[in-house]
Chain A
């Protein structure tokens, strides 16, 4: 059924999209679709990637209308990324937006989370140079916590000729969590997650555009609180004497902070982002709160040689335990099997070809050291510390 939905989306966008692009009455219809091929060497990064996989696609279509200061819109989205997504159709965003003035607007509904430079567009392949965003900051393991919030939010800009402009976004609401999402897998050592309940989330971003052309900085903050419940795993009986199968609940409180900077000079772009994550969790009614910090950063340079070709290069580092970067302490404790589970360092080279304004083709190679961000649950008989990834992707958008 999911395949049929994806196929229907594919056919609709390719055949009907260009005909309906732009306006139909007062409604704007726009969409995009992409299909990739991903192959890894030495380790599976997503399910079966060592054999090469086409389970790597995205399709989205959105509808919007503007009535004076009020804008209404929604985007339907489906993706496949190994075991993730499986082309289920979801509402990516759907909200009402009222602009009172340049300095103040209000959004209510399902809104993308403003985090870093790219979180809001992380599934939109044509809007960046690389195919995969640097995983040190855009961690696929936590993707369910980063998609969209059901929330109310405000936004606006303060514009100044002399000191540059300041833009802000702030949102309060809840982030729906998935029982097979990254956090559920993170906690799967302790319980078999059967239920995930969102409690509350806040997100905000402050962007400063310097008076120097095309230099900008952004600070982002995101906190989400939720609970996961289900029967205890056998590990709980060893750790705390709780018999396996006993219903338990974990309360989680996770905080993400990102600091971003970007400079564009003619055909050259330089971007850097740093992320600090705090994951705190407690076994409801049994233990106090335990927490640990994760850290990641990357630097990316991209150069557009001509209208249809751009070359990008980034280096990215991620540490699962900020206070134990070489993993030795956690290996000794038995929390991880190999020390290289504690980090992931990635060098990525991408070639982007803009065949037309609508068609884009990309080729990308990764040389990776470390295995900290290999998807939990992906089978690898022997994890290799050094491994490689090659990706090709074609995307089409109409608007």
Chain B
């Protein structure tokens, strides 16, 4: 075996071995910690899981009344990271990293712009309340507070 091949096998062996010392991905967060909110003027009160997937993957671009959908998300990192991860896993069936990669693919092929993101829930609530056709999500704890101009959307199967 040549020195190059020995080195390559050593690196690959170390790489494979190293995974056993790595922390595992966190388990799924509880689905009931997430609440879907929308601008209060939106003429609907419930959506299906599939509707949410199509909206947050940018596949469905208009509401049934023809209004453009403005969907917003929380930041993947920082204090909103857990809420975002819980939303993407439970409602989009993707990890936050897979969701990020999906939008990178859209951006670098020119097929879409990623959703506006917020580093705190209050900022997202204010935006949804003041923007026509908008939809987002927050934690159930935040949803306990008073929020004008937004309504909670029920998610059905």
- In the complex, what residue of chain B is closest to A399 when comparing beta carbons? B107
Determine if A262 is an interface residue (Cβ-Cβ < 8 Å): no
CB neighbours (8 Å) of B144 from chain A are none
Which one of B14-22, B32-40, B121-129, B147-155 contacts A?
Answer: B14-22
Determine if A81 is an interface residue (Cβ-Cβ < 8 Å): no
Give B contacts to A, CB under 8 Å: 2, 4-5, 8-9, 11-12, 15-16, 18-19, 22-25, 48, 50-51, 54, 59-62, 68, 76-77, 93-95, 97-98, 100-101, 104-105, 107-114
Contact B110 A95, beta carbon cutoff 8 Å:
yes
The minimal Cβ–Cβ distance linking A10 to chain B, given in whole angstroms, is 18
Contact B113 A66, beta carbon cutoff 8 Å:
yes
Determine if A165 is an interface residue (Cβ-Cβ < 8 Å): yes
Contact B110 A93, beta carbon cutoff 8 Å:
yes
Contact B108 A75, beta carbon cutoff 8 Å:
yes
Contact B22 A306, beta carbon cutoff 8 Å:
yes
The minimal Cβ–Cβ distance linking A131 to chain B, given in whole angstroms, is 13
Which A residues from 378 to 399 make CB contacts under 8 A with B?
388, 390, 397, 399
Known: A112-B109, A267-B95, A351-B16. 7 other contacts (CB 8 A): A64-B113, A93-B110, A97-B110, A124-B108, A159-B54, A311-B15, A363-B12
CB neighbours (8 Å) of A120 from chain B are 105, 109
Determine if A83 is an interface residue (Cβ-Cβ < 8 Å): no
Contact B97 A354, beta carbon cutoff 8 Å:
yes
Specify which of B61, B62, B110, B112 lies most central, judged by the most chain A CB atoms within 10 Å of its CB: B110
Give A contacts to B, CB under 8 Å: 28, 30, 32, 39, 41, 60, 62, 64, 66, 68-69, 71, 73-75, 93, 95, 97, 99, 101-102, 111-112, 120-121, 124, 126-127, 157, 159-161, 165, 167, 211, 213-214, 264, 267, 304-309, 311, 349, 351, 354, 357, 363, 365, 388, 390, 397, 399
Contact B5 A41, beta carbon cutoff 8 Å:
yes
Contact A97 B48, beta carbon cutoff 8 Å:
no
